[in-house]
Structure 1
Amino acid sequence: MFATYEEAMEWIHTRKGMGPKPGIVRMEWLMERLGHPERKFRSIHIAGTNGKGSNVAYLRSLFMAAGYSVGTFTSPHIVSFNERIGINGENIPDEDVLEQANLLYALYEEISQTDMGPLTEFEVVTAMMFSYFGSHPCDVVLLEVGLGGLYDSTNVAEPDLSLITTIGKDHSNILGDSIGEIAYQKAGIIKQGTPVVVGRLPEEALAVMRDTAEKMAAPLYAFGRDFSVSNWQGGSAYHEVFDFSSPLGSYENLEIALMGGHQVDNAATALQAFLLFCQKYALAYSEATIKTGFLGTVWPVRMEIVSQAPFVMLDGAHNIPAMEVLTEAIKQKFPDKEITVLLAALADKDLEEMGRLIKSIPGSKLYVTSFDFPRAASVTELCERIGAPESAAYGDWRVAIDDLKAQQSDRGMLLITGSLYFLSEVRHYLLNDKEFSDA
């Protein structure tokens, strides 16, 4: 048992080296031993290749603006572990992490002696989350899938609504090589008779969703068919403005502070889910609360501007679909900027295509670096696979950031991207830098 938060954290993080264990049999065992906390609260279960975190952020803000309490479960964390579990935007307190870790440790010891074997870090944290929300009531809990859906640890949830944001190629070694195979894994969160909202999906993925929803007698609400956006325009100060239409309500001039057309799609998908959930439980809201919720939505390292002088943006585009929408948004939003890109990424990603997409930004300059993470690509590997010269490589990412910041002209932008794990460290480094106190 643990006496301090630090001891609990050390134990949780030592589960990391065990690797993923597909399947939810261990989670089912845990839920039974914990008295089925997953059945004690209303929830929305959120899967997708990209956009999960943004949908959580929009939904949290929409519910809070309407006066409801909202629990959230997200991963990975950007600044501190505790942000993975939160209520109304406030991280779980250290003492509650300690309490839940001690509760799980006894069960960990017990299950480790069985044929099911010991738990992974994500299984421990997910079980802690279910236990926590089972004893800390909220009006709704937003559950973000860790990986895939069908075999993800969160899939013991019994949600009131399922939401699938986007489908693209990522984690192919686990989820499959084709869009259809990946969509099948994501569709695994669709539950019998439970409504499901899906974002803008490729036709191949949408067909899988329709087929799964039909088999599960789950009402399906699809982007472009059951709800839609129109009159999308760039708002002031890098905001987006659009109209939303659905049988559940139509709204004009909705404004969001997250940039890019993909964020308009995310916002619309979240709003459809919000309206459905409110309809199901007769929860009150208004056009004013929706507009307040959207405008107040923030989500770190999603085209996040952390400084104006020099102009520095952070984005955790960690796979090809995310890099595609990032580079398109940069071209559209910042055609007059001289773009310098600093990239660090995981070795199991399509680095060649990442490099090609970045180089498609007119006049951009690409630099590479690495960071301390087991799956991070080395500087040498990045140079070889992206075709960057040695002169564009930095062994120390902190030196890279300091150098490239100093080189920015009035028209320059430093875009730091490539991995959410990397961006977590970068954001902490920059926002603790006195030079960035004005950001």
Structure 2
Amino acid sequence: MFTTYEEAMEWIHTRKGMGPKPGIARMKWLMEKLDHPERKFRSIHIAGTNGKGSTVAYLRSLFMAAGYSVGTFTSPHIVSFNERISIDGNDLSNNDILEQTNILYSLYQEISETELGALTEFEIVTAMMFSYFGSHPCDVVLIEVGLGGLYDSTNIAEPDVSIITTIGKDHINILGDTIPEIAHQKAGIIKKGTPAVIGRLPEDALQVMREKAKEEAAPLFEYRKDFTASNWHDVAEHYHEAFDFSSAHVSFEGIEIPLMGGHQVDNAATALQAFLLFCDKCGFAYSEESIKAGFLRTAWPVRLEIISQKPFILLDGAHNVPAMEVLADALNRKFADKKITILLAALADKDLEQMGALIKTVPNSTLYVTTFESPRVASVEELRSRMGVAEEMTFADWRQAVDELKAKQSEGDMLLITGSLYFLSDVRHYLLNK
């Protein structure tokens, strides 16, 4: 048993080296031992290659603006570990983390002696989340999938609505190297008779979703078919986006969101459709005013986040090819007037060649690369060779890179820091502390 938060965290992080162990047999065992906390609260389960975190952020704001308490489970963390489990945007306290860790530690010892084997870090944290919300119920809990869906630790959830935000090629070593294979993994969260909301998906992924929904007799709500976002336009003075929403039963004009990019309009519309379905199914009240207020209050770090105006610094966790595509599009559309200095660090198992080609399409930009501490990180040498970056455009120390590039910014310039979410977490911490 642990007596301090620091001891608990040290033990949890020792499990990180286990890596992902696909399958939910260990989670089912844990839920049985914990008296099935996953059945004691209402929830929405969110999967997708990208857009999960933003969709969680929109949903949290929508429910809170309508007067409901909201639990969230997200990963990875950006500022502190505790934010992975939160209520109404407030991170779990150190004491709560300590208490839940001690509950799980004895079960960890017990399961390690069985044929199921030891737990991974993500399984421990997921079980902590279910255990906590089982004894501290909220009106609704938003559960973000860690990896894939079908074999993800969260897939013992019994949600009221499921969401698949996007499908793109990522984690192909685990999920498969074709869109239908990856879609099959994501579709694994669609449950029998449970409504599923589908974001902007390629046609071959949609086919997989339709087949799975039919198999599970799950009502399917598709973006651009059953609900739409139209009249998308900039609110230039705030860098906001605005759009109109319509579905079979409701329509709203002039919804404004503070998260930038056309992909965020897609995410917001998908979140709103899921919110409306959940409210209608569970008898939750809302109004057009609460919906518009909720969207306006949404915040989500390191997603096209302006962290400083002077100098102008933008953070974006474009950690894979689909995310880099939407970043390049947003830069071309919103910041074409700026001279852009880009600092990038990424994990080695990503498609670095394609990511590099995409970020180089941004006009009036200069790309620098660096590295950071992570077992999967790409070295500066690997980034140079795979992205085609000259040696003088590399930094071995990312803190030095941030400081030097920040100091060089002139009026009207922009420093964009992008790549791995783990890297962006470190950078954001560093800049805010300064």
| TM-score (norm. length: structure 1) | 0.98
Q: How does 1:67-86 map to 2 (within 5 A)?
A: 67-86=67-86
Q: How far off its partner does 1:247 sit?
A: 1.7
CA displacement, residues 13-53 of structure 1 (integer Å, 9 cap, x when unaligned): 00000111110000000000000000000000000000000
Residue 70 of structure 2 contacts residue 141 of structure 2 at CA under 8 Å; is this kept in 1? yes
* Alignment-mate amino acid for residue 153 of structure 1: S
- Contact 1:160-1:194 within 8 A present in 2 as well: yes
Q: Tell me which amino acid in the other structure corresponds to 1:355.
A: G
1:265-276 map, 5 Å? 265-276=266-277
8 Å contact kept, 2:200–2:223: yes
Task: In structure 1, give the amino acid aligned to 2:201.
Answer: L
Q: Secondary structure at the residue paired with 1:28?
A: helix
Unpaired segments of 5 or more residues in structure 2?
Answer: none
Report what 2:419 is aligned to.
Answer: 418
**Structure 1 consecutive aligned stretches of length 4 or more whose deviation exceeds 3 Å:** none
1:291 equivalent in alignment to 2:295: no
Residues 195-228 of structure 1: CA deviation (Å, up to 9, x unaligned): 0000010000000000000000000000000000
What is the Cα deviation at residue 391 of structure 1?
Answer: 0.3
Residue 358 of structure 2 is matched in structure 1 by 357
Per-residue Cα deviation, 1:338-379 (whole angstroms, up to 9, x for no partner): 011100000000111111111100121000000011100001
CA contact (8 A) 2:338 2:364 kept: no
Helix, strand or coil for the counterpart of 2:187? helix
Q: What CA distance in whole angstroms lies between the structure 2 residues aligned with 1:56 and 1:363?
A: 34
Aligned to 2:128: 128
Whole-angstrom distance in 2 between the partners of 1:118 and 1:41: 27
Aligned residue number for residue 437 of structure 1: none
| Distance in 2 separating the partners of 1:129 and 1:23 | 18
Determine the C-alpha separation between the residues in 2 that align with 1:190 and 1:51.
18
Structure 1 pair 148/263, CA: closer, same or farther in 2 (3 Å)?
Answer: same
Match of 2:384 in 1: 383
2-structure distance, mates of 1:294, 1:246: 17
- CA–CA distance in 2 between the matches of 1:423 and 1:83? 15
Whole-angstrom distance in 1 between the partners of 2:185 and 2:18:
22
1:34-433 map, 5 Å:
34-235=34-235, 236-433=237-434
Mapped to 1, the partners of 2:117 and 2:381 lie a distance apart of 38
Q: Confirm or deny: 8 A CA contact 1:341 1:416 kept in the other structure.
A: yes
Alpha-carbon distance between aligned partners in 2 of 1:284 and 1:404, rounded to the nearest angstrom: 49
Give the C-alpha shift of residue 248 in structure 1.
3.2
Q: Structure 1 CA distance, aligned partners of 2:20 and 2:77?
A: 18
Distance 1:19 1:330 in 2: 34
Mapped to 1, the partners of 2:249 and 2:342 lie a distance apart of: 42
Native 8 Å contact 1:248 1:276 kept in 2: no
Distance 1:52 1:5 in 2: 28
Structure 2 CA distance for aligned equivalents of residues 9 and 406 of structure 1: 36
Query: SS of the residue aligned with 1:14?
Result: helix
Q: Is the 1:44–1:143 contact (alpha carbons within 8 Å) kept by the matching residues of 2?
A: yes
Indicate if the aligned counterparts of 1:345 and 1:419 stay in contact, CA closer than 8 A. yes
Distance (whole Å) between structure 1 residues aligned to residue 286 and residue 114 of structure 2: 49
What code does the residue aligned with 1:404 have? L
SS at match of 2:242: strand
1:163-212 deviation per Cα after TM superposition (whole angstroms, max 9, x unaligned): 00000000000000000000000000000000000001000000000000
**AA in 2 matched with 1:53:** G
Residue 33 of structure 2 corresponds to 33
Distance 1:2 1:346 in 2: 33
Cα contact 2:148–2:175 (8 A) shared by 1: yes
RMSD: 0.5
Q: Distance in 2 between matches of 1:337 and 1:294?
A: 28
Counterpart CA distance in 2 for 1:41 and 1:282 is 15
> In structure 1, how many angstroms separate the alpha carbons of the residues matched to 2:201 and 2:183?
9
Question: Structure 1: any 5+ residue segments left out of the alignment?
Answer: 434-439
Once the 2 structures are TM-superposed, how far is the Cα of residue 409 of structure 1 from its aligned partner? 1.5
1:366-414: CA deviation from partner (whole Å, max 9, x where unpaired):
0000001110000111111111011000010011011111111212111
Q: 1-side partners of 2:93 and 2:394: how far apart?
A: 40
AA in 2 matched with 1:299:
W
Tell me by how many angstroms 1:141 deviates. Answer: 0.2
CA contact (8 A) 2:241 2:259 kept: yes
1:193 maps to a residue whose letter is: G
Using the TM superposition, name which of 234-243 and 209-218 deviates more.
234-243
Deviation per CA, 1:64-89, whole angstroms, max 9, x where unpaired?
00000000000000010000000000
Query: Contact conserved, 1:248 with 1:275, CA < 8 A, in 2?
Result: no
Measured against aligned partners, the alpha-carbon deviations of 1:96-151 in whole angstroms (never above 9, x if no partner) come to 11110000000000000011110000000000000000000111000000000000
Is the contact made by 1:340 and 1:415 (CA closer than 8 Å) also made in structure 2?
Answer: yes
C-alpha separation between the residues in 2 aligned to 1:177 and 1:331?
29
The answer to whether the Cα contact below 8 Å between 1:198 and 1:221 also exists between their aligned partners in 2 is yes
Q: Quick one: distance in 1 between partners of 2:265 and 2:426?
A: 28
Q: Give the SS at the match of 2:162.
A: strand
Q: Which amino acid aligns with 1:358?
A: I
Q: Does structure 2 retain, via aligned residues, the 8 Å contact 1:383–1:389?
A: yes
TM-score with structure 2 setting the length: 0.99
For 1:201, give the aligned amino acid. L
